[in-house]
Amino acid sequence: WSPLDSDHYQWLQLDLGSRKQVSAIATQGRYSSSDWTTRYRLLYSDTGRNWKPYHQDGNIWAFSGNSNSESAVRHELQQGIVARFLRLVPLDWSEEGRIGLRIRRSGVINFDGQGVISYRFKVKKMKIIKDVIALRFKTSESEGVILHGEGQQGDYITLELRKAKLLLQINLGSNQYGSIMGHTSVTTGSLLDDNHWHSVVIERYRRNVNFTLDRHTQHFRTNGEFDHLDLDYELSFGGMPYSGKPVGAGRKNFKGCMESINYNGDNITDLARRKKLDTSSFRNLSFSCVETHTFPVFFNATSFLQLPGRANHNTISVSFQFRTWNPDGLLLFSNLDDGTLEISLEDSKVVVRINVTKATGNNRVDLSSGSSLNDGQWHAIRLVAKENFAMLTIDGEEASAVRSTSPLTITTGGTYHLGGYFLQTPFPPSQRSFQGCMQVILVDDQPADLHAVEKGTMGAFENVSLDMCAIIDRCMPNHCEHGGRCKQTWDSFSCTCDGTGYTGATCHTSIYEPSCEAYKHLGRSSDTYWIDPDGSGPLGPFKVNCNMTEDKVWTTVMNNLPPKTTVTGSSRERRTVLQVNYSASMDQVTAITTSAEYCEQKIAYSCRMSRLLNTPDGTPYTWWVGRGSEKHFYWGGSGPGIQKCACGIDRNCTDPKYDCNCDADHKQWKEDSGLLIYKEHLPVSQVAVGDTNRPGSEAKLTVGPLRCQGDNNYWNAASFTTPSSYLHFATFQGETSADISFYFKTSAPYGVFLENLGNTDFIRLELKSPKVVSFSFDVGNGPVELTVHSATPLNDDQWHRVMAERNVKEAVLQLDQTYKTSQLAPAQGHTRLELFSQLYVGAAGGQRGFLGCIRALRMNGITLDLEERAKVTPGVKPGCQGHCTSFGMYCRNGGKCVEKYNGYLCDCTTTAYDGPFCNRDVGGFFEAGTLVKYNFMPEAVAGASRDAKILMNELTPHEVNLTKEEVAFSFSTSNAPAILMYVSSKTQDYLAVVLRQNGSLQVRYNLGGLKEPFAIDVDQRNLANGQPHSINMSRVDRSITIQVQTAHTDTHTHTHTHTTEHSLTCILCF
């Protein structure tokens, strides 16, 4: 079109014949001319009058047009329009000519399930780094290849329908050893066999892919290491080209309609219309969409469809297709002249029951076939029953049809109920209703005239929807997180979380603690544990070793590099790269190092004529690679930017001219080792060795496990000192799934923990009263509040843990892992939590402000840095004191709890125990002739026997008290007699605890002022029985109390009074 006058009063109008959905517009200039339109406006109307301009981004939109007469410029309409009439109004045009336009409705190609369009490349082999593929399709088939291309090197791209979902498979190449696998598979959409138009766009640049279906985009990276898609000859649309290869075996061609097919700027639809492409496989290529004539029926739990059949006939022949998510339901029921026919879905199988009542007796036939038929796909049923014969066929598979030859005589009743039967009958069906859809219904070999049923001229129906199938896939998108498996019925879905490491209605919440530190404060001991550092975040749980034998908790992650791995044959030009793989992914390890207070990893290089780093200014022979894939030229014991080993820092290398022992290049074995402690660089992921190719040169490499200490996230706390104080953070993003957990400690009776607001939506957690914690929110369905009530006051200045979760299924609130409440989400309504204000921790508006401490605040797996924000916020202090009020109970056996800025520790120095909780007793195994000697005075003591092993511990004189003593110890032995303890002095005074020849316990004294030593027989039982026994002795002045406890918890107490002058040296021995 080129009007006579080129001015702003010209327009081109199109009549589409009926109202159509318009999703894109493309223009060209007038053929072989200088006439084109550079800018235009689009108007639309249903009547040809009362025109409405197309709006975009809140403005009347002006489209950019053409810059020449041949190239086509296409615009996707962000807001699709539905209209019969379109009008294009040119705004600007070619300066070299006049207004010019070519426009037509984009072509539709009808694919018959046989034909394939082949798009041949201009060269035989294509190395493609960028792809843009766009098309629209509609079909009533659940299977079919939409496009396919492949190369001889194994590269391919395939887009196909599988079970009515869209599957994209790409392989940019795998290596010949099989260690690099390039196959990538991504699925999107569901129920795409609904005979409605769906839009697909695939955009690939190197390994990055955007896969868009109906404006829902998935972003992913292809597997492998290659960037180019190497294709041979052609790209086919509508199916797999016949190549003699088995790759396409079993795959169906696409059957349905496609339009607006574009590949890298080429309009495939237009090329096919102009016969520029190979379409020879089509029997009759049609450029109009052949509509299917299925007439689906939709049933709910109160529906039925009644259809007439042949009465008084000796054969039943019914068939239909159905789709549902429910495992059970009534598909068809009929009262026979002398019995009943029922076809039901039971446990996802089709079950047929035919009961015939005769005067001579009852005949019954039961048939069952199929499995997992509640998968939402269309399934076909055909039942034929006649005298002494019945056959049930599922999905047309005659080979697997179920048959019966039991005695049977049938007389039909003439009426069939589909999808429900609610009348009273002597022999009712086992199921009463069905939720789902049916189509292609044949009764007694006659197609059901559903148009006549709709008009009311035949049959009957109630609460059914005709000519529609309102099926919804509630598992798409999948709300089950972390690999949880989604299962659904017609009304709802559920998640199976087994084996995922997560729990909850949507598998959102981790079942594991975030760190070894958290396990310690649950009272656990050293062991291997599963941890989940980001909770509900994307990182999965993984195993680590937790060492809790020290005040600090050590977390250890092992790697697979054997100690002293030998390296030979490497040079600067061709280094040997050793890969260090860990028992956790790099992201998981990074989560540990990020939250840790301190990390270390030992690295050792044993060498013989193998140089390590050379000089500080030279190129290193060997380097290591950290977690960020960056090279590091410093070694263990040194630091970033210092190209030295530990001996170079300490200035004690073998050769002072070098900064590493190995750089001296000696023929004797040397070693450079030390700890890498810059945690931002850890762990070591690779080591590149570059000097073991000379004769006689050899190296052995050791990379130890990663060890980290502490968990800053666990102790990250803030103290709110005024009712109006608060911390603010970015808006909480928890649209469909949100979890919040933290610890709090307060002496106040109430206070808001946190709050985030939207227009009407909000989320809030607060202490409503001394015994009540509240979780409230609104996602658009009205406010919801969950409360938990504690049996004891929560303002007791001890730590309490709050966990709250809200998802599309339910809301949960839990307190101290003891009190828990939940509330189901409404079946219908809003599900997205839309917030816009900042997140306030503490008093949002000064109302009911929180006074106290909040610690370890985590929201959707992310720990908020309360301490850092508190440093710059008035009324809030970083950290929180008073941990011993909550954790002091873990310090056992008289250990004292000591406060720390970010935690606590148990001081065991005044006890006979050690360990983080003072619960590991300090003992020893004594061989014959060995002893442990303590010298209580700073004077020389008598020597021990020649074969004795001696340990001395001196105490200052003021620590000695001669008027009283307390003695406690445990023992087990099978030998008697034996001296358990002997206390001597410079005089003749002594105290001895012994086992006599018969194993009985005796205490012997020789004290000043007594004429002779005396003995106390404490227990006559044989205590030399290999069992543990405990002794407690206490003396104050003249009173002595002795208590013995055996392994069977029997207690024997003996009290004696005497006068004394006390001993000075104590010996424990066996």
Q: Which of 110-124, 316-330, 370-384, 904-918 has the lowest mean pLDDT?
A: 904-918
Summarize the confidence of residues 91-101 as an average pLDDT. 91
Summarize the confidence of residues 43-62 as an average pLDDT. 85
Specify which residues 787 forms β-bridges with. Answer: 774
Structure tokens at 847: 């109302």
At 870, give phi and psi (nearest 5°): -65, -25
The fraction of the chain above a pLDDT of 90, given in percent, is 48
Average pLDDT taken over every residue of the chain: 86
Order of strands across the sheet that contains 784-789: 726-729, 839-842, 751-757, 762-769, 772-778, 784-789
In this prediction, residue 420 carries a pLDDT of 92
Distance CA 479, CA 900 (A): 42
Report the candidate in 147, 132, 143 with the shortest Cα–Cα distance to residue 212.
Answer: 132
Whether 954 has a pLDDT exceeding 60, the answer reads no
In this prediction, residue 154 carries a pLDDT of 85
Summarize the confidence of residues 168-173 as an average pLDDT. 91
Distance CA 635, CA 644 (A): 6
Residue 942's pLDDT band, with cuts at 50, 70 and 90, is very low
At 664, give phi and psi (nearest 5°): -70, -15
Whether 1063 has a pLDDT exceeding 50, the answer reads no
Q: How many CB atoms lie within 10 A of CB 243?
A: 12
Peptide bond into 308 cis (omega under 30): no
What's 885's DSSP letter? H
At 1018, give phi and psi (nearest 5°): -80, -45
pLDDT per residue over 347-363, tens digit each? 999 999 999 887 666 78
In the numeric block, the tokens 């040194």 are attached to: 638
Specify which residues 706 forms β-bridges with. Answer: 557, 601
Whether 106 has a pLDDT exceeding 70, the answer reads no
Whether 38 has a pLDDT exceeding 90, the answer reads yes
- CB of 338 within 8 A of CB of 356? yes
In this prediction, residue 688 carries a pLDDT of 92
**Which residues are CB-neighbours of 224 under 8 A, at least 6 positions away?**
171, 172, 173, 174, 180, 181, 182, 184, 207
Specify which residues 877 forms β-bridges with. Answer: 719
Where is pLDDT greater, at 565 or 1016?
A: 565
Report the candidate in 679, 706, 682, 713 with the shortest Cα–Cα distance to residue 513.
Answer: 713
Specify which residues 604 forms β-bridges with. Answer: 673, 702
Whether 1057 has a pLDDT exceeding 70, the answer reads no
In this prediction, residue 1016 carries a pLDDT of 83
Summarize the confidence of residues 644-673 as an average pLDDT. 91
In this prediction, residue 212 carries a pLDDT of 94
Summarize the confidence of residues 687-696 as an average pLDDT. 91
**Strand, helix or coil for residue 412:** coil
In this prediction, residue 477 carries a pLDDT of 84
Whether 375 has a pLDDT exceeding 60, the answer reads yes
Structure tokens at 79: 């807001």
pLDDT per residue over 619-655, tens digit each? 889 999 998 889 999 999 999 988 899 999 999 999 9
Whether 447 has a pLDDT exceeding 50, the answer reads yes
Q: Which of 37-41, 482-486, 632-636, 826-830 has the lowest mean pLDDT?
A: 826-830
Summarize the confidence of residues 680-686 as an average pLDDT. 94
**Strand, helix or coil for residue 378:** coil
Distance CA 557, CA 553 (A): 13
Residue 280's pLDDT band, with cuts at 50, 70 and 90, is confident
- CB of 125 within 8 A of CB of 25? no
**Strand, helix or coil for residue 886:** helix
Domains of the chain from N-terminus onward? 12-93 (2.60.120.260), 108-273 (2.60.120.200), 306-450 (2.60.120.200), 555-709 (2.60.120.1000), 716-880 (2.60.120.200), 892-920 (2.10.25.10), 931-1069 (2.60.120.200)
Q: Which of 7-21, 27-41, 67-81, 900-914 has the lowest mean pLDDT?
A: 900-914
